[in-house]
Structure 1
Amino acid sequence: MSVIDPQESTLYSQLAETLADAIHNGTFAPGSRLPALRRCASHHQVSINTVLAAYRILEDRGLIAARPQSGYFVRSVLPSIMTRPGHRASVHSPSSEKLDLIDAVFAAQNHPDYTNISLACPQNSDFFPTAKISRIMASLMRREPDLIGRYALPPGSQRLRREVARRSMDLGIRLTAEDVTLTHGCMEALQLALRTVTRPGDCVGLETPTYFYLFPLLASLDLKVIEIPTDPRHGLSLDALEMLLREKRLNAIVAMPTVQNPLGFTMRLEDKKRLATLVNDYQVPLIEDGLYGELQFCWPLSPAVKAFDRDGWVLYCTSYTKTVAPDFHVGWIAAGRFTRTLARLKSVSSLTESRLLSETLGHFLESGGYDHHLRTLRRRYAAQVDEARGIIARHFPQGTRATLPEGGFVFWVELPGNVDSVALFHRLLQEKICLTPGALYTLSDRCNNALRLSCCYPFDDRYTWALKRTGALACEMSGIAANGD
């Protein structure tokens, strides 16, 4: 889970990340004592003050606790979710009850009086480069006052598409501006991709659990769903996928191989290569959702599956809504062999994206400020995920497990006992707290005791109280006490 960038990090933050990794991988077990300040300083060849600053970071993240006269000790770490047994892949369509629950969750997430602990959209301008974006936009309007008086015709901003192509190399993808189609966010990119490569009645393979809004999207296109077993740490079962491909049961696949929502995993490099080989060999399109790809905690970034796309069967979709400006809603897609067909479909659906917003974003990417902004976000989200997992370890029922995301700000929690997360959702609404129950993320009943949490909010008293209150209600419903401190 390291987010160290030697050019950006101070010595104490680098040391904090090194120690955090040691805690996450079990080198320092829960309850064990960290090395004394002087010993740690000597071992890492830094000053005692540097070690003390690193330990304070780990305290803030909920990973360690200071004991008077005794030193620093590792807190109880939340257990990881283990590999689930596989299930038989079968064809599904979302029930009306499932779609009604999605509508109810969206309504609660948009209620201004509710405290959100699960909406996957940062709710504070501190998470975005607002000031710099404002200056760029104001400068553009001064220099080109007629910018908003001209239609933005396809294929859209050359500057932005050129910057997208340049930056895609960080994910191993080689593109030109002509390979890129601008879209109205990632959801339109996914929709256009599905409309391009499928027909009504086709079967689409999805991870399980997966982003829940894919279900109403597929239903609106009259597409059927086959849920593919997905490991919470390693991702899509490629053996199960290959069997489905061999049996010709899939017409397309939608997957999030990097920082998956809601589990947070990133597939291993060898698995990404195998996935690319499978879809190219069987000539079944893979729609790769890369929404959180640039928010990976590791550096260099793990490549996208699109990086290994031999014959153009991978359609890569993403947007800047999670990293730069949600209200701009500017996304893009690299559709491979389907580029011309998809571009035509975009032209007759929403034509193109705003010239002003696209040029503003293009100038921001060109300025170099985006890289610094991403590094700041990665460090902040990694720290907040640790802090949230620490709260869960102390305040949720004993036996609660959670994924350890490899980027982004969402993760998956499984509650013990007979806790129904839909019932928990309704109980919390009475106290104006909104979470997302796990039942939304699958068409089966395998995730009824699970929920997704999000860490893209300021960790103020309101947020931490809501998280602790969720744990208290889960303890009450399960009859199982919390771990405590």
Structure 2
Amino acid sequence: MYMYETIADTLARSIERGQLPAGTRLASIRDYARTHGVSLNSVKSAYQLLEDKGLITARTRSGYFVCDSLPALQYRSPIEAITDHQQAFVHFRSEADRLLAALLNKRQQGTCIDLALACPVGEKFYPTQRLKTIMTKWLRESNVLSRYALPPGSLTLRTQIARRGLQLGMALDAERILLTHGAMEALSLAVQAATQLGDAVGIETPTFYSLYPLLESLGRRIVSLPTHPQHGLCLDTLPSIIEQQALKAIITIPTGHNPLGFTVPVSARRQLVDIAHRYQLAIIEDALYAELQLGDQQVPNIKAFDREGWVMVCASYGKTLAPDFRIGWLEAGRFTHQAQQLKFATTVAEPLSISETVGIFLENGGYDAHLRQLRRRYDRQIAMLRALIADSFPVGTRVSQPQAGFILWVELPEGIDALALCEAALKEDILCMPGALCARNPSFNHCLRMAACVEMTDTYQNSVQRLGALAAAQRI
């Protein structure tokens, strides 16, 4: 093998393994030759070979960059003709719900490889020891266990939430922040505060799968909104849908969308706020992944552009600090009083010991350093998972490029039944989530949601490769 072939082979393996993610700038020809002690001609020939293979591309006056080997997601409009009373659709939903129950049951048993759920596992993802130290010290110095927690809850934590909101463009008042039992309670309180029984609530399609049972349990009418896989809600058609469907609220995940992964540009955020003001429409912003943005600059929350109180923003610390604490929060804008009343009438307040522990950690526990480490880890793991999918899944598979968080959306070639694929994988103790669960719609039954939030062990990587083989087998 010639030297240039050796160089090209080494770089190709690094690209395929995700060690050189898409967009990475390679060393210049001169720098690579000097660093590795090889000739300029060998490096130049190696780069040309990689360029011919479509692995890298040359940019004028910028150098060589790693190409994205996976095609981008395609826009797919929700099927509007299918309604709940049609027997085929009812059966489809029943099968999807049954599979979700089986996934959760298998996950609880702890005998599987989880490629599906957005549940980071392991102390590499959480500052566990630091939180233990803070909580132990605080409990030792207080008598909190002998008295009830009362609303509005820990001032320490609410103050830190307001302080951190400034980094995302929000001027929050600690007195108006409501502590909740995770993000799901925050979403539930927001929906109940802004709408009435039977009101129409718009959601992105696809979206976070738990929104469907949540809205159904609250007696709200679900309206699926067309959503672009790179830009978010299709705002050009949104006003007509608001008028036709008499929408009262929209739930949106604009940063690190679950499951599509996009982060909505600032211009679209401003436009959505303008629409909310014009129609006096509540916007419920799920900002769960806002602090896990993978770019150099953080995009402000939608709440940052709201001056009339129509935007409600919520999040939690389950993905970044301590999942078992179940600490979330809600700033409900003009609906603050209603949300506070609902909270008091249901779960009253969050445990002070947990809230204070999180608040003290945010105050002086190194949260920003922890977030930087998480962002780097997720950036690497997303690249590794995309590389595994590119190498193992059928030709024509499309994969999202998340801009925040750690969730990937996978579009399989037409003809592959994701429900059947996930059933087959489940028999081999591999958990994956069919896209239909995130849309309640057969038009997304060739899609999967995958998460890159556990350690990328050999077993994990082998499971991704096996899932790709099972998908390829469906096409034979």
**TM-score scaled to structure 2, two decimals?**
0.85
Separation in 2, partners of 1:163, 1:275: 28
For the 8 Å contact 1:259–1:292, the answer to whether it is kept is: yes
Aligned partner letter, 1:134? K
Which of 324, 328, 336 is the equivalent residue of 2:325?
328
Aligned to 1:424: 421
Q: How does 1:261-410 map to 2 (within 5 A)?
A: 261-410=258-407
Question: Using a 3 Å threshold, how does the CA distance of structure 1 residues 274 and 73 change in structure 2: closer, same or farther?
Answer: closer
Question: For structure 1, which segment, 293-302 or 449-458, has the greater mean C-alpha deviation from structure 2 after superposition?
Answer: 293-302
Separation in 2, partners of 1:107, 1:190: 25
How far the C-alpha of 1:221 sits from its partner, in A, is 1.0
Separation in 2, partners of 1:444, 1:458: 32
Aligned to 2:74: 82
Separation in 2, partners of 1:178, 1:462: 48
For the 8 Å contact 1:128–1:325, the answer to whether it is kept is: yes
Separation in 1, partners of 2:296, 2:303: 18
Q: Which runs of 5+ in 2 are unaligned?
A: 1-13, 38-53, 57-63
Q: Secondary structure at the match of 1:333?
A: strand
How far the C-alpha of 1:116 sits from its partner, in A, is 0.4
Does residue 106 (structure 1) correspond to residue 104 (structure 2)? The answer is: yes
Q: Spell out, residue by residue over 1:283-322, the C-alpha distance to the aligned partner (whole angstroms, 9 max, x if none).
A: 0111111111100012331011111112101110100000
Question: Using a 3 Å threshold, how does the CA distance of structure 1 residues 451 and 248 change in structure 2: closer, same or farther?
Answer: closer
Aligned partner letter, 1:123? V
Question: Using a 3 Å threshold, how does the CA distance of structure 1 residues 154 and 73 change in structure 2: closer, same or farther?
Answer: closer
Aligned partner letter, 1:383? R
Question: Using a 3 Å threshold, how does the CA distance of structure 1 residues 250 and 366 change in structure 2: closer, same or farther?
Answer: same
Q: Spell out, residue by residue over 1:132-169, the C-alpha distance to the aligned partner (whole angstroms, 9 max, x if none).
A: 1111111112222x122221100000000000000011
Aligned partner letter, 1:82? Q
Separation in 2, partners of 1:89, 1:123: 40
For the 8 Å contact 1:89–1:228, the answer to whether it is kept is: no
How far the C-alpha of 1:39 sits from its partner, in A, is 3.0
For the 8 Å contact 2:130–2:365, the answer to whether it is kept is: no
Aligned to 1:177: 174
Does residue 148 (structure 1) correspond to residue 145 (structure 2)? The answer is: yes
Separation in 1, partners of 2:106, 2:275: 40
Q: Spell out, residue by residue over 1:347-393, the C-alpha distance to the aligned partner (whole angstroms, 9 max, x if none).
A: 11000101000000000000051000000000000100000000000
How far the C-alpha of 1:245 sits from its partner, in A, is 2.1
Does residue 226 (structure 1) correspond to residue 223 (structure 2)? The answer is: yes
- Identity, in percent, stands at 42
Which of 208, 211, 222 is the equivalent residue of 2:208?
211
Give the count of matched residue pairs: 432
Q: Secondary structure at the match of 1:262?
A: coil
Aligned to 1:4: none
For the 8 Å contact 1:186–1:317, the answer to whether it is kept is: yes
Q: Spell out, residue by residue over 1:55-95, the C-alpha distance to the aligned partner (whole angstroms, 9 max, x if none).
A: xxxxxxxx989xxxxxx995772222133357659876994
Aligned to 1:192: 189
How far the C-alpha of 1:248 sits from its partner, in A, is 5.3
Question: Using a 3 Å threshold, how does the CA distance of structure 1 residues 22 and 387 change in structure 2: closer, same or farther?
Answer: closer
Separation in 2, partners of 1:435, 1:74: 28
For the 8 Å contact 1:228–1:240, the answer to whether it is kept is: no
Q: Spell out, residue by residue over 1:37-59, the C-alpha distance to the aligned partner (whole angstroms, 9 max, x if none).
A: 643599xxxx779xxxxxxxxxx
Separation in 1, partners of 2:330, 2:68: 42
For the 8 Å contact 1:276–1:305, the answer to whether it is kept is: yes
**TM-score scaled to structure 1, two decimals?**
0.84
For the 8 Å contact 1:250–1:284, the answer to whether it is kept is: yes
Aligned partner letter, 2:148? Y
For the 8 Å contact 2:168–2:301, the answer to whether it is kept is: yes
Q: Secondary structure at the match of 1:228?
A: strand
Aligned partner letter, 1:237? C
Aligned partner letter, 2:202? G
Question: Using a 3 Å threshold, how does the CA distance of structure 1 residues 366 and 263 change in structure 2: closer, same or farther?
Answer: same
Aligned to 2:48: none
Q: Secondary structure at the match of 1:109?
A: helix
Aligned partner letter, 1:166? R
- Root mean square deviation of aligned Cα: 2.7
Aligned partner letter, 2:171? R
Separation in 2, partners of 1:194, 1:132: 35
Q: Secondary structure at the match of 2:405?
A: coil
Does residue 471 (structure 1) correspond to residue 449 (structure 2)? The answer is: no
How far the C-alpha of 1:461 sits from its partner, in A, is 1.2
Aligned partner letter, 2:110? P
For the 8 Å contact 1:335–1:342, the answer to whether it is kept is: yes
Q: Spell out, residue by residue over 1:396-453, the C-alpha distance to the aligned partner (whole angstroms, 9 max, x if none).
A: 0011010100011101001113111100111011101110100101122111000000
For the 8 Å contact 1:296–1:406, the answer to whether it is kept is: yes
Separation in 2, partners of 1:422, 1:436: 8
Separation in 2, partners of 1:312, 1:178: 15
Aligned partner letter, 1:419? I
Q: How does 1:42-81 map to 2 (within 5 A)?
A: 74=66, 77-81=69-73
Separation in 2, partners of 1:74, 1:106: 38
